[in-house]
């Protein structure tokens, strides 16, 4: 499906939860947030039905995000349900890898193709400063397990203040090189003020070629991260909500006062 600016919308990012096992300073308050109730969250059946509808309208690439998707109970079942949808050509996940050692093999077996792993530093103290949790060893073990399980497409997402020449970013790039992994640098974004940049090493943030829509954890179809437009799947139905979202997709992002990174999946 094409939007009003002739962009081909083929990519769906699905936030499966607003919960996370980290408290990154640029994403979540220290004490966490009041999370959605279980009944607020879309069920796996609702997400799968939504994805079937999205595929029928031209989506072929799906990414699972959060919060942290691996904290959602039964996540490998959802991966299997989505990969079994005819027309899904690519299925990936963005994770902080804290639980990846436990899940990597199951996710691969269920059909997951690619992983983007959030890693802002390889220094343990700085990791604690950024994420407010002492879990870097778990993350690094998770990355090794994903490599051992044969995930061939693993990319590291490194959040930077300004650019890839910052000490943390240089160390993450060196670590990535030692593991033969790709790394992308994502400059810290601000939804309230509308500050965002094109991802260094990716295409995210380039509005001129934007091919994505999002499904939030509570079931709103969002045409753009930096906009407050959203259509409830439970109110309008999956296909109608998608069509309305694509028809109202802005030419470029401005700002959002209603979204948070942890409930729309960045
Ligand atoms: S700001 Fe909106 S239009 Fe621009 S790249 Fe992000 S989602 Fe696409």
- Six-digit token pair at 106? 């199951």
Q: How far is the CA of 4 from the centre of ligand 1 (A)?
A: 14
Mutation pick for ligand 1 pocket among 12, 191, 212 (CB with most ligand atoms within 8 Å)? 212
pLDDT at residue 259, rounded to an integer: 87
CATH topology of domain 11-264: TIM Barrel (3.20.20)
Pocket residues for ligand 1 (CB within 6 Å)? 205-207, 210, 212, 224-226, 252-253
Model pLDDT, residue 206: 94
Tell me the pLDDT band of 123, cut-offs 50, 70 and 90. very high
Omega prior to 202 cis, within 30 of 0: no
What is the tens place of the pLDDT at every residue in 68-95?
999 999 999 999 999 999 999 999 999 9
Report the separation in Å between the CA atom of 136 and the middle of ligand 1, taken as the mean of its atom positions.
31
- Over residues 199-250, the pLDDT tens digits come to 998 888 999 999 999 999 999 999 999 999 999 999 999 999 999 999 999 9
Chain-centroid distance of CA 48 in Å reads 17
> Sorting pLDDT into bands at 50, 70 and 90, what band is 29?
confident
Q: What is the pTM of this model?
A: 0.96
Instruction: Note whether 91 and 69 are within 8 A (CB).
Output: no
Q: Which helix (H) or strand (E) holds 154?
A: strand 153-160
- Domain boundary assignment for the chain: 11-264
pLDDT at 152: 76
**Exposed e or buried b for every residue in 120-144, given b needs 16+ CB within 10 A?**
bbbeeeebeebbbbebbebbbebbe
Q: From 12, 63, 207, give the residue whose CB has the most ligand 1 atoms within 8 Å, as the site to mutate.
A: 207
Residue with the nearest Cα to atom 6 of ligand 1?
205
What's the mean pLDDT in 255-261?
A: 90
Helix or strand run (H / E) with residue 13: strand 11-15
Residue 33: predicted pLDDT: 79
> What pLDDT sits at residue 55?
98
Q: By percentage, how much of the chain surpasses pLDDT 70?
A: 100
pLDDT tens digit sequence for 194-207: 999 999 988 889 99
The predicted model gives 34-57 an average pLDDT of 96
* 136: its two tokens: 């870097």
pLDDT tens figures, 126-153: 999 999 999 999 999 999 999 999 997 8
- Ligand 1 centroid–CA 259 distance in Å is 13
pLDDT of residue 97: 98
What integer pLDDT is reported at residue 101 of this predicted model?
98
The ligand 1 atom nearest the CA atom of 214:
7
d(CA 24, CA 67): 11
Distance 227 CA to ligand 1 centre (A): 9
SS3 assignment, position 91: strand
Write down the pLDDT at residue 200: 94
265 has pLDDT over 90: no
Alpha-carbon span 200 to 249, nearest angstrom:
24
How close is the Cα of 199 to the center of ligand 1, in Å?
Answer: 11
Least reliable range by pLDDT among 100-104, 181-185, 187-191, 260-264: 260-264
How far, rounded to the nearest angstrom, does the alpha carbon of residue 52 sit from its chain's CA centroid? 19
In the reported structure, the alpha carbon of residue 147 is separated from the centroid of ligand 1 by a whole-number distance in angstroms of 31
Residue 31 has a pLDDT of: 77
How many degrees, rounded to 5, is the angle at CA 251 between CA 246 and CA 254?
105
Helix axes 136-148, 100-110, angle to 10 degrees: 30
Contact assessment for residue 9 and residue 213, using Cβ atoms and an 8 Å cutoff: yes
**3-state DSSP assignment of residue 42:** coil
């Amino acid at each position: 499906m094409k939007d009003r600016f002739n962009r081909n919308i083929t990519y769906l990012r699905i936030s499966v939860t607003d919960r996370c096992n980290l408290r990154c300073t640029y994403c979540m308050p220290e004490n966490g947030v009041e999370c959605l109730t279980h009944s607020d969250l879309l069920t796996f059946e609702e997400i799968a039905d939504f994805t079937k509808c999205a595929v029928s309208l031209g989506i072929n690439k799906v990414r699972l995000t959060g919060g942290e998707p691996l904290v959602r109970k039964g996540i490998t079942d959802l991966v299997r349900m989505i990969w079994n949808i005819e027309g899904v050509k690519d299925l990936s996940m963005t994770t902080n890898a804290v639980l990846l050692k436990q899940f990597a093999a199951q996710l691969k077996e269920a059909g997951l193709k690619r992983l983007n792993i959030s890693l802002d530093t390889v220094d343990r103290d700085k990791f604690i400063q950024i994420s407010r949790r002492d879990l870097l060893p778990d993350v690094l073990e998770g990355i090794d397990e994903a490599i051992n399980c044969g995930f061939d497409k693993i990319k590291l997402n490194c959040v930077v203040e300004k650019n890839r020449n910052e000490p943390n970013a240089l160390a993450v790039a060196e670590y990535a090189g030692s593991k033969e992994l790709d790394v992308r640098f994502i400059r810290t974004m601000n939804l309230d003020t509308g500050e965002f940049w094109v991802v260094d090493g990716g295409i995210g943030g380039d509005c001129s070629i934007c091919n994505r829509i999002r499904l939030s954890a509570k079931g709103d179809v969002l045409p753009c991260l930096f906009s407050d437009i959203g259509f409830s799947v439970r109110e309008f139905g999956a296909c109608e909500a998608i069509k309305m979202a694509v028809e109202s997709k802005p030419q470029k992002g401005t700002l959002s006062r209603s979204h948070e990174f942890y409930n729309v999946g960045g």
